[in-house]
Structure 1
């Protein structure tokens, strides 16, 4: 979710120079950005695979708490020594609270849903978030959508229908939770854009981790189950580290290359989900999931590659 947090794939204009005139080291920076995005697409499936493993024994609420608390500890260690408690100062507290709650809802729905469906299927459905962002950016941010991009969104939804196949024996209600997770994550991205020019990025990162942790600290005492072994305790702790590391990779990737260049590589997460899902359950996606995932990727790549040509608000 996972493929999910602070990175904002904002549209960026294409470079006006030919590749031969790029400054020295530019190609290397773009390659590094791509590698970091692929690294994130590996870390998130590993985290989700651990969620599936832990969900066999522990309540989802406890796993969500571990995910948020571990992330908060990483954020505190990295941000507070540099910025102090002033990092909590925000000019849009309501927006920060809303985006943090949306992120928690997205995480919760994904963690509850991934208990019941294969990881590759969940990973494919979760990639609907960019399509939701494309649709929501017009009414909420005033960013108009080109007809061709709207068609790409519809094609993406067709791909999801092929993956979940409602009305058949393959369909599972948990697929709707993953779609709800993608929708909440899209709203989270919209609210993140709204505060981007007002609050520093570190403030947004801090609120995302802090609010989720506080909410789950109020819930987890009612469902707590002590780890049965040291290994299980370590797996709980790894959730936050993997999630925070994945989001860091995405954020760093966006500093090395334009969003529309590296965004297509986020779909490596589907490949990572297939590999991790096979290790966790021994299952590989069926033909319908492969076809649906391919359609989702194709539509998503089209939207990413045309982002720089999208009409601006007006």
Structure 2
């Protein structure tokens, strides 16, 4: 198979960096809204905006065929995991800094590597097991359980990263069964429509046009971010893009400093470095294993 050309690789990296810039802004908007509104209402706005944006993008081209799936149950479970991830994250950042939350969320690729064997049958190696252990030690360094600096909301960010890891694994399982456009659209269906059963109990009408704009921004920016990720993987392979996914940490630190005067301490940076290093090693070793099996 012919390798992507340098311009296409650069375009893929550019899209990944754009996503890494958009998601922290979405998080900043959600944190602002979380000071007055339920995280469930914010999560609904995130999912509903996703549905509206992608429907406007895909329906004129594909029609109603875009919602047809061969694995409805799997798609709904996948959508449930994405909603769980968003809801836990939006709740958690109401109590802890964005940079710290982003550092903990970096454990999602570690969760993928851990769960890939029981869920996908992908074999692991001793080196990757060591990297996984180091990565989770990095998470413990960031959240610091048992110390005065530990905050229980950190556990919601851990749950968010775990749910997102399961979402990624289910996305890999559904790949090749349903078109990517269908999977992208259906990924938010549980949050957008399932939450309508709960929304009346948590709904609070936006107090101002600014709040309404923030709600719209959470949905549209989140959808744009996922759209950029999808384009990135269309231009460049995962092993090339993997290190650039961690750009989101820097974006979250910047937004946290700009909007909330938050800045991670040295221990958080240390833990984040351990997590990033472990994730990059797992991605590199996985790619190397694939190349070894495929041959030169």
TM-score (norm 2): 0.95
Which structure 2 residue ranges, 5 or more long, are not aligned?
A: none
- 2:236 corresponds in structure 1 to 257
In structure 1, the residue corresponding to 2:138 is in which secondary structure?
helix
- 2:23 corresponds in structure 1 to 44
- 2:73 corresponds in structure 1 to 94
Q: What is the aligned length? A: 291
- 2:279 corresponds in structure 1 to 300
CA-based RMSD: 1.5
Offset of residue 307 of structure 1: 2.3
1:30 aligns with 2:6: no
Does the Cα contact within 8 Å between 1:145 and 1:310 map onto a contact in 2? no
1:291 aligns with 2:270: yes
Offset of residue 310 of structure 1: 2.8
- 2:56 corresponds in structure 1 to 77
- 2:247 corresponds in structure 1 to 268
In structure 2, the residue corresponding to 1:263 is in which secondary structure?
helix
Offset of residue 255 of structure 1: 1.3
How far apart in 1 are the matches of 2:31 and 2:65?
37
In structure 2, the residue corresponding to 1:306 is in which secondary structure?
helix
CA deviations 1:130-159 (Å, max 9, x no partner) are 011111111111111121112111111111
| Residue number among 281, 286, 301 corresponding to 2:260 in the alignment | 281
- 1:206 corresponds in structure 2 to 185
Does the Cα contact within 8 Å between 1:162 and 1:292 map onto a contact in 2? yes
In structure 2, the residue corresponding to 1:310 is in which secondary structure?
helix
- 1:243 corresponds in structure 2 to 222
Does the Cα contact within 8 Å between 1:33 and 1:262 map onto a contact in 2? yes
Does the Cα contact within 8 Å between 1:160 and 1:296 map onto a contact in 2? yes
Offset of residue 206 of structure 1: 1.8
1:177 aligns with 2:156: yes
In structure 1, the residue corresponding to 2:198 is in which secondary structure?
helix
Offset of residue 192 of structure 1: 1.4
CA deviations 1:163-196 (Å, max 9, x no partner) are 0000001101111111111111111111111111
- 1:108 corresponds in structure 2 to 87
Does the Cα contact within 8 Å between 1:80 and 1:87 map onto a contact in 2? yes
| Residue number among 135, 141, 158 corresponding to 2:120 in the alignment | 141
How far apart in 2 are the matches of 1:305 and 1:249?
23
How far apart in 2 are the matches of 1:158 and 1:129?
14
In structure 2, the residue corresponding to 1:145 is in which secondary structure?
coil
Larger CA deviation: 53-62 vs 155-164: 53-62
Offset of residue 262 of structure 1: 1.0
TM-score (norm 1): 0.89
Does the Cα contact within 8 Å between 1:43 and 1:243 map onto a contact in 2? yes
In structure 1, the residue corresponding to 2:281 is in which secondary structure?
helix
Larger CA deviation: 211-220 vs 111-120: 211-220
Counterpart mapping for 1:210-249 below 5 A: 210-249=189-228
Offset of residue 211 of structure 1: 2.2
Larger CA deviation: 278-287 vs 167-176: 278-287
In structure 1, the residue corresponding to 2:187 is in which secondary structure?
helix
Does the Cα contact within 8 Å between 1:121 and 1:289 map onto a contact in 2? yes
Does the Cα contact within 8 Å between 1:37 and 1:249 map onto a contact in 2? yes
CA deviations 1:36-82 (Å, max 9, x no partner) are 11111110011001111111111111111111111110011011111
Does the Cα contact within 8 Å between 1:65 and 1:213 map onto a contact in 2? yes
